Structure 1
């Protein structure tokens, strides 16, 4: 409980908070992460293709039918709802304390909770574009498509989710905004990420302050560098913090 109180105190004393989050942020919303014992990569061990390959650019181009079968069944969780972590972060933004959320997630739950200052490093399932004419399609167009591989109603080209696949580069503008936000932060909260996916994981090195918080159930390479390390579930932690912060 002392660590929770310390985190609450640091939040009270900070004015430029940045949250850097990964898949563990959404596990309490029913969305599996990737690398934990119960994660997506473990559950797909008996598949003829490794998940990393199915989520690669070359696989999308060469086997779009297999890609979309995996993508629809494993990557889309339309009915998932924000958990306490998403909700508390949205409240901190409304109070003017949280300046940016930098997320590796593609689920859109931060926006669903009410956050507006969200930098999506790996894109979003809610944005999809025709590879031929760049026409925009929402998530329902992907889910409700009668074809396994959704195609543009205008030019019949393949529609691609606006998510960053393996072998694809991150959006440089978003990457720069994330670097700037972290560099200017007076408190960074890192939550639900193994900090193994590059180049996203390198972003935390831009933090120049002396109050860094790591919220992660499993061990990471950043554990020894964090000023405050809490190994409880992130939603539970943030819920307890919000109770302390309430006026």
Structure 2
């Protein structure tokens, strides 16, 4: 079944001129990064090591109030330095290189799309790879957080660093949202993968697509299932591997 569907998706990809991908945490689970809301995910599995729920610790209010605890949780649960791209990341990079894929729109903060070779990546929720001093605005890479103890500080002024990720209570960057909306409205094939499509306002972007075929790749049901022209429930890496074979990439 999945082979037949993958072959059909490969045919659609071959016919498409403007592909856009919209993805969430499920895109990276096969790279060893847990998602949030599935069984065993960050929000569902519980964490006896920390006395606060993850949603609270990942809020801007908590970051301001208890930055030390925030960074302890952040380093242990949100950053996966050794993670490597999987077949879905590779497929998207190959489609961009072919000139067919216009943009990767991601809710992920792990940087794996860029590591796979994608260039036009619109990171709705930011990235763990970038950090900014709240005092002077100096920018730092991931090593400034991971190779420090306690609260990471600016080497220039001593100010506290904040990861360039969107915390609960913060707004998404307007320019990124606008670029994502433009890419979706211009697409003739939209791939949506690894997301429950319940987190707003990011999920509402999918509703802007009205340009052709919609392929939905997610293990569990989503609010957009009835709108999909093709629906996959298998692991994304398995699907991507079959599509890559059908396209002659492997």
Counterpart in 2 of 1:210?
212
Q: Where does the alignment leave 5 or more consecutive residues of structure 2 unmatched?
A: none
DSSP 3-state at the match of 1:33: coil
2:153 and 2:228 map into 1 onto residues whose CA distance is 46
C-alpha distance in 2, partners of 1:196/1:54? 20
- In the TM superposition, structure 1's runs of 4+ consecutive aligned residues that sit over 4 Å from their partners are none
Distance 2:217 2:88 in 1: 11
- For residues 140 and 6 of structure 1, what CA distance do their matches in structure 2 show? 43
Aligned length: 246
Contact 2:187/2:212, CA 8 A, preserved across alignment: no
Give the RMSD, CA atoms, in angstroms: 1.0
Partner of 1:27: 29
Matches within 5 A, 1:44-123: 44-46=46-48, 47-123=50-126
Question: Offset of 1:222 from its aligned partner?
Answer: 1.4
CA distance in 2, matches of 1:90, 1:132: 36
TM-score when scaled to structure 2? 0.96
**Which position in structure 1 is the counterpart of 2:45?**
43
User: Gapped runs of 5+ residues in structure 1?
Assistant: none
Picking from 213, 231, 234, the partner of 2:233 is: 231
What secondary structure sits across from 2:119 in the alignment?
coil
Structure 1 residue 210, shift from structure 2 partner: 2.9
C-alpha separation in 2, matches of 1:133 and 1:18: 36
Query: Structure 2: how far apart are the matches of 1:122 and 1:173?
Result: 12
Give how far 1:149 is off: 0.5
TM-score w.r.t. the length of structure 1 is: 0.97
> In 2, are the aligned partners of 1:210 and 1:227 still within 8 Å (CA)?
no
Distance in 2 (CA, whole Å) between partners of 1:48 and 1:220 is 31
SS at match of 1:124: strand
For 1:66 and 1:123, locate their aligned partners in 2 and report how far apart those are by CA, in whole Å. 21
Give 1:45 deviation, angstroms. 5.0
Query: Of 189, 199, 202, which aligns to 1:200?
Result: 202
